[in-house]
Amino acid sequence: MNDELLLKQVSEKAQMWLRDGYDAQTQAQVRAMLENDDKTELIESFYKDLEFGTGGLRGIMGAGSNRMNIYTVGAATQGLANYLKENFKSLEQIKVVVGHDVRNNSRLFAETVANIFSANGIKVYLFEGPRPTPEVSYAIRLLGCQSGVNITASHNPKEYNGYKAYWDDGAQVVSPHDVNIINHVISIKDVNEIKFEGNPDLIEIIGENIDSQYIEQIHTLSLSPDVDKRQHDLKIVYTPIHGVGRYIIPRSIERWGFDNIIHVPEQDVMSGDFPTVESPNPENRSAMEMAIAKAEEVQADIALASDPDADRISVVFKNNKGEYDLVNGNQIQLIFHYYLITRNAELGKLDRDNDYIVKTIVTSETIARIAKKQGIKLYDCYTGFKWIASVMRELEGTSARYLGGGEESYGFLPEDFARDKDSVSSIPLMCEIAAWAKERGQSMNEMLIELYMTYGYSKERGISVVRPGKSGAEEIVNMMKNFRENPQKEIAGSPVVLIKDFLSLEQKDIRSGEVTKLDMPTTSNVLQYYTEDGTKVSIRPSGTEPKIKFYIEVHDKLESAEQYDAKNEWADAKIDRIVKDLGID
């Protein structure tokens, strides 16, 4: 499409936002875009409609069809309401939960959602204030609801907000519901079709009554309560990074018996401006600098963080050099799975015929080695916690027992009574793991090294290539096309022996030429290379952000703890070479 035609289309689309049904402030913002000689903002705001991805609806706040505002939120909610009434028409009363995080406009959007649902005759349980994303999932199941919505952009910068839609099992919507909801949203052609005028009689405010049940349920996950009591004074630094974890996570930690929680006062302030960080992403060391400084000051056993909507966890502990270091997402997954399997085995509770764990296809293959060696069933699924929840849904009601599941992007779920990644349960569990290791005479780092010596060493690095806007989206499409049409023949000197393409659901054995089908529930735009020496490279565009992600994983043996630092240096050098081979340095 040429620039002139694109500008004509977006201008016509923007003119629709100057009609009755849109508020004066929105109209003024749209008019300013139309009158501005620089049409960049106009194009970015209207060249497409926000779509559901792996995390739902997410975008920059502002006026326009490609922005988060009460009208895009309203259309999504009206479409969801229409679909719920169609799908659950036999029910006397359809019920939903609505929650939100601390971001700017989150309360406005949540109240807008609640009003639209209630205007459509749907009963709404609206949280009184900001709550963790996993608590919304928990409340849907607890209250027997058919759906739910959480207003959050997770760890994105402050300019963003988002909309997560959940189904009756407390999980984010998957096929066919996600497609059906979008179709219902698309069918809304006029803003006047959205029922903004709420029915207060159908909106019930919830809060502490759910909080207390949630915290008590989480405490049932403890596998070492006696250890927790003996190690009650474990030095734990915790920061919510200005998010919703501020009140509920310290309560959850204390319920497990730990009473030495050291705060980062500046980051206890709940604020959508996230004033102490450039971006509230706990994957980034910059977001954890204040927690690391506090850990150094008090010589903490462990430092932990939750992201703004308290679904993801960040972990810091001392490395071999005695320096506090950020643990990567794959290592977090390894530690959780290692502990849950090992501790259940110690207690005689491990049922190798029925217990299972779940990971995503881009998460460390060392987890698969742990599962294989321990005789535990492992399920691999797509990126996005809705797919982990989908496995849980399929096995619910059978003899199978869920031990835990997670993904490399710092999310873990150790329970089955919620169906989204959960830092409210993961953080006290990680405290228990630190206490358990300490009782065994180990630091967390020593425990991690022991794990690598037992199950094999691996190191992973995630690289995100950001390409914002329309031109960026086109560039990402072309990058994926090139990796498919011109696949790598070798990576860091090792021949590629297997290629998995989840868009075609085919895998090709390079040496034999044999092509076989991949057993997955649907297609996904993910490409994977496997080399002869065990290296795995996964490539996928993000479903929620304007970037393409590369997941690089290398493997080797670790024969002694003394080799660990040298092995890390070897792995870093190898990954650097892989980055150059892929042309993304």
464 is a catalytic site residue: no
Separation of alpha carbons 439 and 442, rounded Å: 7
Closest CA to 72 of 87, 59, 81: 59
Separation of alpha carbons 59 and 65, rounded Å: 10
Q: Which of 154, 409, 426, 538 is catalytic?
A: 154
Closest CA to 234 of 255, 262, 201, 215: 262
Using DSSP bridges, classify how beta strands 377-381 and 355-360 pair: parallel, antiparallel or unpaired.
parallel
User: Helix crossing, 70-87 with 177-186: angle to 10°?
Assistant: 120
Sign, CA dihedral 451-452-453-456, equals positive
- Which residues, 6+ apart, have CB-to-CB distance to 425 below 8 Å? 134, 218, 221, 252, 413, 414, 415, 418
Task: HSE, CB side, 13 Å, CA atoms: give it for residue 242.
Answer: 23
Q: What are phi and psi of 95, to 5 degrees?
A: -130, 145
Residue 172 near residue 122 (C-beta atoms within 8 A): no
Separation of alpha carbons 344 and 158, rounded Å: 41
Closest CA to 343 of 224, 514, 500, 489: 224
Closest CA to 537 of 475, 506, 572, 581: 581
3-state secondary structure of 318: strand
Using DSSP bridges, classify how beta strands 355-360 and 313-318 pair: parallel, antiparallel or unpaired.
unpaired
Strand ranges inside 240-351, DSSP E:
261-263, 302-306, 313-318, 324-326
User: Helix crossing, 444-455 with 423-439: angle to 10°?
Assistant: 90
Separation of alpha carbons 25 and 180, rounded Å: 32
Residues assigned a catalytic role: 154
